[in-house]
Structure 1
Amino acid sequence: MEILASRVLLRPADYRRSVAFYRDDIGLAIAREYGAGTVFFAGQSLIELANHGTPRSSAGALWLQVRDVYATQTELQARGVAIARAAAEEPWGLHEMHVVDPDGVTLIFVQVPPTHPLRRDTRN
């Protein structure tokens, strides 16, 4: 099997509210819009909000890496976004901050410090 592309697909209960959240509150750029959905750029991935099918709440989370989680927190707070869990260094070495979307999906904003194993070349 060869995977050619992938993205996260969400079916929000209130499509317009969720589009406004991801576009205006979080500040993601739109990759494309089609008659029944909106696709956002999210780093090396895409997040699609579908305005078709059965709305579903997800118990999952989106992991979104940023350069500076503390600056991201300040930026989101300035936009009026509620911070569910303030930015802090975790015991595993990452710096994380949580925001919850209108359907209860947790967005985990992550800063990976230069010395963290995720940044090291493990081929040696």
Structure 2
Amino acid sequence: MEILSSRTILRPEDYSATLGFYRDVLGLAIAREYPGGTVFFAGQGLIEVAAHGGSEQQARFDGALWMQVRDLTAAQTELVLAGVKIVREARQEPWGLHEMWIADPDGIPIVLVEIPADHPIRRDSRTATD
């Protein structure tokens, strides 16, 4: 199977509130809009907020959105000033990443992550060839 692209689709109970959160509070750039939905750039991924859905019959999203930021302390300050509740304060995890948790208007967890310069994710594991 060849995957050409992917995105996370959210179907919130309150479309306007969720749209405003991702657009105005988090400041995500709009990739495209269509009648009843907006797709946002989220780093190398896309998040779609769809106006259709959001009913009790729909399966509840039971995961988290993972978003890497350049400076977690600056992101936390910006979010607090915007009135966003911090679910879990920024801290370094045992696996070495710096993480902070917030939630969107429907309570979907958002993990904001800063990757330290010395973390294995940033290291080039390729061997040098002459």
TM range (shorter): over 0.9
Partner of residue 74, structure 1: 77
Which moved further from structure 2: 61-70 or 51-60? 51-60
Q: 2:12, 2:53 within 8 Å by CA — same for their partners in 1?
A: no
Q: 1:37, 1:48 within 8 Å by CA — same for their partners in 2?
A: yes
Partner of residue 126, structure 2: 123
Deviation at 1:103, TM superposition (A): 1.0
Name the SS of the counterpart of 1:88 in structure 2.
Answer: strand
Deviation at 1:53, TM superposition (A): 3.2
Partner of residue 101, structure 2: 98
Q: Which runs of 4+ in 1 moved over 6 A?
A: none
Distance in structure 2 (CA, Å) of the matches to 1:120 and 1:90: 18
Question: Size of the alignment, in residue pairs?
Answer: 124
Unaligned runs of 5+ in 1: none
Distance in structure 2 (CA, Å) of the matches to 1:75 and 1:94: 20
Partner of residue 30, structure 2: 30
Deviation at 1:80, TM superposition (A): 1.1
Q: 2:18, 2:105 within 8 Å by CA — same for their partners in 1?
A: yes
| CA-atom RMSD in angstroms | 1.2
Distance in structure 1 (CA, Å) of the matches to 2:38 and 2:54: 16
Give the % identical residues. Answer: 60
Question: What is the TM-score of this pair, normalised by structure 1?
Answer: 0.94
Unaligned runs of 5+ in 2: none
Distance in structure 1 (CA, Å) of the matches to 2:103 and 2:80: 13
Question: What is the TM-score of this pair, normalised by structure 2?
Answer: 0.90
In terms of Rg, which structure is larger?
2
- The superposition leaves residues 33-78 of structure 1 with CA deviations (integer Å, 9 ceiling, x where unpaired) of 1001011110011100111134453221000001111110001111
